[in-house]
């Protein structure tokens, strides 16, 4: 069987989260220092550790089959690549920023200004959409320094917390787009490799579902079981186990992280006691 070739950023913002996802999916490999290609020990996969900006081209050309990459980079590079899954980590914004002493936060401020960026295509499309004419100065790194050295009036760059902008005397004004890590694939994937990708996607989705859920256990008076069961947002129905003490049962279920406190309050009011919450490692539906 052929191996599925996956590209991962070799360093920087995406690397650690990408490696953690592979490990959470049960894929292990020998991550020796300075290796650019390694084979998984227990899954038909080869991991390519590549420079981030090179990945879209390698993916389009079929050098690799799939890649974990920032959505913002795919939009900028405009390659013929399919996004198959949003991964929910490495979230950021591509935003315009100006010196702190600029009073305006409006896009109109950039009219006839100079903008330094590593995302010229993304910026130009946004400016055209908003009828703004500006001079785009392309910089491959350290974009934040451009206004301080007189190279540009403002910048466009990726923003996570905004601390880097703050340290360089800048403030975020206009968000062009929001981005996160995605799993993308070559458009001409063979049927054999698509089958491997489907297995990998199954693992990714199991991990993702688990992260959004918690396992919940509670003790409930028997006469309150129906009421409590109505509250629980379960997959099918809760598990009910009689306790040693007469008239009481233990109820086991799954609860969504985002509804946690809302549901807990309802359960307590319905008579649930001794509520225990446990993280879920994997969740196969």
Of the residues 210, 230, 254, which one is the last residue of a structural domain?
210
Is the residue at 285 inside a domain? no
Count of structural domains within the chain = 3
- Residues 96, 77, single domain; the answer is no
List the CATH number of the domain containing 119. Answer: 3.40.190.10
Contacts of residue 62, defined as CB under 8 A and 6 or more positions apart, other chains included, come to 186, 188
Instruction: Tell me the mean pLDDT in the region 60-66.
Output: 96
One domain, residues 206 and 246: no
Query: Is 54 within the bounds of a domain?
Result: yes
Q: Quick one: 158 and 225 in the same domain? A: no
Residues 96 and 175 reside in one and the same domain: yes
pLDDT digits (tens, 9 = 90+) for 101-131: 999 899 999 999 999 999 999 999 999 999 9
Write the pLDDT tens digit of every residue in 190-232: 999 999 999 999 999 999 988 888 899 999 999 999 999 888 8
Indicate whether 69 and 112 sit together in one domain: no
How big is the CA angle at 82 (ends 79 and 86), to the nearest 5 degrees?
115
Rounded distance between C-alpha atoms, residue 22 and residue 41, angstroms: 12
Domain contains 25: yes
The torsion of the CA quartet 145, 150, 151, 152, rounded to 10 degrees, works out to 90
Residue 170 domain boundaries? 92-179
């Amino acid at each position: 069987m052929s191996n599925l070739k996956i590209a991962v950023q070799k360093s920087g913002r995406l690397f650690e989260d990408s490696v953690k996802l592979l490990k959470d999916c049960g894929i292990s490999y020998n991550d020796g220092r300075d290796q650019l290609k390694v084979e998984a020990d227990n899954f038909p996969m080869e991991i390519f550790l590549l420079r981030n900006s090179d990945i879209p081209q390698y993916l389009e050309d079929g050098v690799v089959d799939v890649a974990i990459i920032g959505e913002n980079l795919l939009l900028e590079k405009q390659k013929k690549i399919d996004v198959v899954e949003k991964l929910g980590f490495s979230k950021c914004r591509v935003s315009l920023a100006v010196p702190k002493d600029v009073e305006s936060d409006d896009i109109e401020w950039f009219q006839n200004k100079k903008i330094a960026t590593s995302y010229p295509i993304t910026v130009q499309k946004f400016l055209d959409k908003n009828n703004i004419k500006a001079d785009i100065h392309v910089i491959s790194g350290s974009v934040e320094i451009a206004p301080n050295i007189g190279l540009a009036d403002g910048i466009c760059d990726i923003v996570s917390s905004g601390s880097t902008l703050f340290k360089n005397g800048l403030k975020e004004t206009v968000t062009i787009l929001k981005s996160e890590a995605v799993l993308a694939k070559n458009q001409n994937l063979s049927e054999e490799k698509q089958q491997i990708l489907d297995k990998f996607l199954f693992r990714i989705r199991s991990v993702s579902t688990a992260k959004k859920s918690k396992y919940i256990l509670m003790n409930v008076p028997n006469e309150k079981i129906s009421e409590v069961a109505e509250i629980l947002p379960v997959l099918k129905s809760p598990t009910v186990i009689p306790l040693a003490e007469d008239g009481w049962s233990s109820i086991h279920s799954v609860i969504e992280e985002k509804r946690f406190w809302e549901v807990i309050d309802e359960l307590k009011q319905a008579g649930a006691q001794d509520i225990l919450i446990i993280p879920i490692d994997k969740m196969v539906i």
